[in-house]
Structure 1
């Protein structure tokens, strides 16, 4: 009997050992592959990268460099878009191309709709920075390492259609792992419509007919209706998901960035209540003092207003698409005749935009009435487009790439400087690797857009002024 038990035990042990190598590396609590909503959530974690960059702040001249000033002199150097394709866009494409999304994480139609909205937002950001970029042939992995560059015009046209598809396919129900809106599909629909509306306004000079058509349709479909609808990335008091500027300023102790005179000179003379949020008084005389953008001689950090503490706390949020931004767009649309109401409606939207900007930033609105009553701030039909554009640029503080895009389109604010004689760039230069790894398509895109010579001063499709 004992011999039989021993033989049986040896057999069991032998069987277990045969499977040991297979089992030892398996975590029974982890999925074998990421689910659809996990991939979407991972794509969401890249959203701060659209805003939290020194490059974006320099392009819009919100901040001046105090340490490595040459970085802000608009050097003719390239900027990579690979991280966008290899990270968030690839995650979203995996969702859109999947044939086995699980309804256990919310309606599949809603997962696809959110993926389309986010992909559209990332692609809009990408094409507005570089111009023509890979789109229809991109994100195919090993099947195509050398995608063609689509024209920016065709990308815009396609994104309008994709955003409408996303809106139309939403069904009742929430989705899991949504770190932006907690699965609220009504908010996602509003966001998609708002992105479409803001994209349409980019066409104000290059194709106003299509721009007005898409703008009014998106507005009618329902856009952001309060600050509660804002697309905001909410950082955590956690090292893994902390604000970029917290790591740079609080942890590294860097005083490398001051508010620019470009910004301060548009705010301080009017006692703008957002200024104490954006920056701190200097340590010399307690005044709000901007540093000339690109100044290579006098950048003593004691003399200038450094970035406001509320901007670089560990959990400080990043604002991406906002209600105030939506209102500024509608104010401009009313002024240029895209929507009805004329100056009366434009003034109403303009006033609401500033009020909601103040609320978003947590400014002291007890002085809002006196601020709005000042001659340069109060709506003036003769200077309305400049007022709207300038106040929108102020509102977009720290969302540098968006502020820069609006500056390129409108020409406001009107006090941008040219450090070392270098004007504000019109675009960013493609990464050099494309010249060697995707030569034919790269050369074709550069020839088509810029006559074969690439620089910071070639213009993207919608930038016609």
Structure 2
């Protein structure tokens, strides 16, 4: 055979071999690049962390620590926000920046709308923890490693606009890979508007005019109508998807948290039907809360021993226990307050109806029934009263937001209710009003960090400094 033909044949065989090798080394079930709705699904995996953490339920004193009580005594000051930027927000921004959205995964407009709602929700949660944050220059990857900080006021205004865009662009049609609402974009629309409404309420003390305008805009666009609309993260039985508190209590066998004395002391005299869901009775069959923020050397001794107090209810520490994030009851409490403030019509009559319906929705959400609700609502201490309406709404919202600690903490900062006290003999440290920025920011983004701290907090990156809306 001619040598040229042999050489050509060898090249062909080599090329075919290489193609074959490439083919067998590619797993069609593990694509190297995620689709856009898969990126959104990955972002949704971070949602439980907004509620479930070691610190969240401590600041509003839903839980008390039985030992290792440093967190209850506010010994940690600086908190990391990088994982939100590099995790869910980066995935969401990739979707928003993509020019390759696939309509086979659902209407492109709806994919973008869901991305905007998720982005708004994560940034809302973050700015309420830290205050001013990188926003408008953030999420550019290697194009900008040192983004400027936006003021919290500017972030709120940007998020209102982002949620307006999401509401306006949703069309008929579900999306794929939605692990929260199963692709139902009508529910996503109501979620976005409900987040918008709750954000507006947060401005009640700093800018009531804007608060009222944005609140009404969100209500008119359509908010939650029942518990079926709740933003719920449903955990699974596999270890990668366990509920946080199952891992703490059952998997690691660490009964480090009890239901707090302030919460039990408020709920127990009222025979609140949610208390048996929230807490386990002690060895004597009684509900007893643990005093908040005890020093570690006494927190699990004597009258505070684990046999004497109530730990977290059994149904709330299972592997598959769902996490409630944005709920119909919270929306109703917000509407009750808005009616009382005169932002929406109906005055005290409407406020009372919203308030009563909110408690009913809360009991139904937590217990799966409304047993005991009628007698609970009949008590004067629970009934709506125009004279102390804001206080009663705030207390009942605090109960409803059990274990959704950062949200309950934000509402405590806004309203001043419930009345909570810091731990005794705590070196003068009061309940934090914010969390300080991660210490790495001083090295990684020094100029922008220092400018933000000076502008927003008078040059002191400390937890006793208030965020913009906290007046």
Normalising by the smaller structure, the TM-score range is over 0.9
Deviations 1:24-47 (A, max 9, x none): 532233334111100011100100
Instruction: Give distance in 2, aligned partners of 1:213 and 1:288.
Output: 43
Does the residue aligned with 2:178 lie in a helix, a strand or coil?
A: coil
Does the residue aligned with 1:382 lie in a helix, a strand or coil?
A: helix
CA deviation after TM superposition for structure 1 residue 369, in Å: 1.0
Does the residue aligned with 2:201 lie in a helix, a strand or coil?
A: helix
Partner of 1:74: 74
What does 1:129-278 align with in structure 2 at a 5 Å threshold? Answer: 129-278=129-278
Partner of 2:414: 409
**TM-score between both structures, scaled by the size of structure 2:** 0.94
Maintained 8 Å contact 1:243/1:315: yes
Deviations 1:382-430 (A, max 9, x none): 1110000000010000100000000000000113443424221100010
Maintained 8 Å contact 1:200/1:210: yes
Partner of 1:50: 50
Partner of 1:289: 288
Partner of 1:385: 390
Maintained 8 Å contact 2:70/2:76: no
Does the residue aligned with 1:203 lie in a helix, a strand or coil?
A: coil
- Worse overlay, 364-373 or 145-154: 364-373
Instruction: Give distance in 2, aligned partners of 1:248 and 1:9.
Output: 64
Instruction: Give distance in 1, aligned partners of 2:369 and 2:26.
Output: 55
- Worse overlay, 359-368 or 139-148: 359-368
Instruction: Give distance in 2, aligned partners of 1:454 and 1:390.
Output: 30
Gaps of at least 5 residues in structure 2 are none
Instruction: Give distance in 1, aligned partners of 2:238 and 2:211.
Output: 42
Would you say how many aligned residue pairs link Structure 1 and Structure 2? 459
CA deviation after TM superposition for structure 1 residue 13, in Å: 5.2
- Worse overlay, 89-98 or 76-85: 76-85
Instruction: Give distance in 2, aligned partners of 1:104 and 1:381.
Output: 53
Partner of 2:313: 308
Maintained 8 Å contact 1:273/1:367: yes
Instruction: Give distance in 1, aligned partners of 2:395 and 2:353.
Output: 17
CA deviation after TM superposition for structure 1 residue 301, in Å: 1.1
Instruction: Give distance in 2, aligned partners of 1:9 and 1:247.
Output: 61
CA deviation after TM superposition for structure 1 residue 71, in Å: 2.1
Instruction: Give distance in 1, aligned partners of 2:178 and 2:85.
Output: 21
Instruction: Give distance in 2, aligned partners of 1:224 and 1:313.
Output: 27
Instruction: Give distance in 1, aligned partners of 2:86 and 2:281.
Output: 41
Does the residue aligned with 1:343 lie in a helix, a strand or coil?
A: helix
CA deviation after TM superposition for structure 1 residue 287, in Å: 0.6
Partner of 1:370: 375
Deviations 1:43-99 (A, max 9, x none): 001000100001111111111111201221012521001111010000000000000
Maintained 8 Å contact 2:273/2:371: no
Instruction: Give distance in 1, aligned partners of 2:15 and 2:40.
Output: 41
Does the residue aligned with 2:89 lie in a helix, a strand or coil?
A: helix
Instruction: Give distance in 2, aligned partners of 1:117 and 1:364.
Output: 31
Maintained 8 Å contact 1:273/1:364: no
Partner of 2:459: 452
Instruction: Give distance in 2, aligned partners of 1:363 and 1:315.
Output: 16
Among candidates 326, 329, 353, match of residue 331 of structure 2 = 326
Gaps of at least 5 residues in structure 1 are none
Maintained 8 Å contact 1:52/1:245: yes
Maintained 8 Å contact 1:235/1:314: yes
Does the residue aligned with 2:78 lie in a helix, a strand or coil?
A: coil
Maintained 8 Å contact 2:78/2:437: yes
RMSD, aligned CA: 1.7
Instruction: Give distance in 1, aligned partners of 2:112 and 2:394.
Output: 34
Among candidates 296, 313, 317, match of residue 322 of structure 2 = 317
Maintained 8 Å contact 2:436/2:462: yes
Maintained 8 Å contact 2:120/2:159: yes
